[in-house]
Structure 1
Amino acid sequence: MKKKITIVSIHSCPNEKIGLGNSGGLNVYVKNLHSYLLSNKFESNLITRKHGKCDFYKHSSKVLHIDSKKAVIEKDVIFNRIKSNTDILISNYWTSAVFSNDHFNSVNKKYHIPHTLEYLKKKHFPKYVMDSTRYKLEKKSMINFDKIICFSSLEKKVLIENYNIEPSKILSSSPGFDSDLFFKIPKVESREKINLHINDKLILFVGRLDLLKGLDIAINTIEIIKKSHPNIKLGIVGGDYGSEAQKIIEKDLNKMNLTDNIIWFGSIDHQKLNYIYNASDIVIIPSRSESFGMVALEALASETPFIISNVGGMAEIIKSNKKCILVDKITPESFGDLLLKFFENKIKNENDEDSRINIQDYNWDKIFHRMLN
């Protein structure tokens, strides 16, 4: 008999548009995990934050949007039925850990996935100002879980040294990946789909408009490259298109005379994103802090070269991959210098058999069963 699994994601609903507000890699992870469990006939329920109109019910009746006020939850009949029929709990992000401790303490097996930690951000980016209240809540909320899942060796070290987690409770893993969503498409076909000329040079950034994601580094890198490649383009996927944050960035771009070098794609679905990956010459991942870095896996699946900060679990995995350029010093100058060499064909970026990463090693079937075992 298959176990009854409850996934908790209080931070945001996995069906909110990716790249908008707080919606990012965590949402993709939770949505794909829930979909995987349902497609493999597990009894999986997802408890998430109540928000505006959501069409997740079209995909699954096993989603419960809740008002996180304790008095309201305890009267919810569906919530209480799920609570009493949970064999395995999978909590995502610290807000879910706090919620799970309040409502799911009696569950037999409890897993928690931090996705990001305050102290890890500080380790990656020393100038980051930690939220001490959140750090204390992260630390306190993880005590009662049976397993804490981490995505990098540094995250494991931080969990042990700064969160007092017993090493035996930590499970090193990686996010699951759906290779049916990202795959190789001819560049000519991809560029036709997004109306990009075949001779244009396109660098792609995928992520939220967040300091830690490093969009400012990507933009300043373009300013450097433009001096020798005037027609260079930076494609930006994600972010609140038309928001105040985006308008501020537009003003800065105008001052830097870069407006014509930027293509705003906004928040888009995976099908179009796959075309954009394949249309790009290279993907830039200038994160100041990263738990894993799913963008790198997506680029690998589409066989698009990428340049990535040496932070997070993905950077550890791809160090020997010839499609990847690893950057230790996270500055526009470092990224700019290496990208100029890339465009001048001074950096080899073809895979060989010894360095190729098997995307199938990251499919949900392998990842989930590794987690349970």
Structure 2
Amino acid sequence: MATAPELDRPADALDGFRQEVRSWLEANFPPSLKGHDNSMSAVEGPTEETPEQKAWREAMGAKGWGVPTWPKEYGGGGLSRAEARVLQDEMARAGAWNPIGGMGVMMFGPTLLEYGTEEQKQAHIPGIVRGEVRWCQGYSEPGAGSDLASLQTFAEDRGDHYVVNGQKTWTSGGQWADKCFALVRTDKSQKHAGISFLLIDMDAEGVETRPIRLISGQSPFCETFFTNVKVPKGNLVGREGQGWEIGTRLLQHERSSLSGGSGSASRMNAGKSVPEIAKKYRGADGEGRIGDADLRTRIIKHEMDQRAFALTLRRAALEAKGNAGPSAATSIMKNVGARITQDRAELNIEIMGMQGLGWDGEGFSEDELAQTRSWLWGKAVSIYGGSTEIQNNVIAKRILGMLDHQ
């Protein structure tokens, strides 16, 4: 993946850059948006932008700071890692949030920068950088989930274009997306080597989506049907048969983002801390501590795990060398992040008691109802992006070097 040069600026230059960022944020970030979320990554679907939100997204998009280390020639910020950390610190200081997000940033953009042609990068990266184009992922199928290589959606070569027929499921945000990056079969005689990576317009004739309602009451996923959909040959990323390699690389970017707490996981961890919730519902002793000693011990352990995990993620980012990007180690981070996220939800439900199990009606606050849905939604954290079991296989084979025994 081509990114900005990694030569960090001297300390005095970084001080100057910090002041530049601080001044720019003061001039461009609307104070009224403090505490708001990124609508590009909303689980329940995109919301209509307010004038302030639109202005903030356009300002960050024009600056390229929504994707600070992406190359300037495609609209990115072109910053070094050290500069990006300064930007992150100053945004946190100002209470500012990144309005540029979604699957284009988390997954597709980094992959296209690595595998795409110059024409494809020029065509697709700027729209992601500006937050103007929503992407969805066409991977899983009804008969190809954990065994993704069994996918059957077929792209038939018709000379200057493909004709795609098949079905995808669990398409996150498919009903709202503009475009889809999909794994399709271009050769039925080979399993892995017969898969290609194709870009499909979601408004093309023959594309249909049907939302799937989840246990949380939300419908962030859908079934996607392709019926005689025409796709230009120029939408093939890499070469025919390279889809498994490209798709696997994309999943590393996804797991890296998920383990870092982006997307739905970060929303679940937002708001009041577990100790604050515990003191509200369980009370505090004379010294201001959580009254229940056993609960207090378990909360302390959770807080330690969460902070150690955050420091590990930061250290991993600081130790990254060159432009190699994420590795198989993201599977470890993904599994640990999923466990911590689910532990938090379980603790909060236990602390709230019956007040944490409300679905609707009187007697429950908005925060309590939101906690119930977050708890239910969190059950998917160890499934999407590759289940915990699949990650364990990756860890065993690619990190620990364990081989299958016949």
Give the TM-score of the pair, scaled to structure 2: 0.28
Q: Give the strand-richer structure, 1 or 2.
A: 1
Give the TM-score of the pair, scaled to structure 1: 0.29
Higher RCO (CA 8 Å, separation ≥ 6 residues)? 1
Q: Give the helix-richer structure, 1 or 2.
A: 2
Structure (1 or 2) with the larger CA radius of gyration:
2
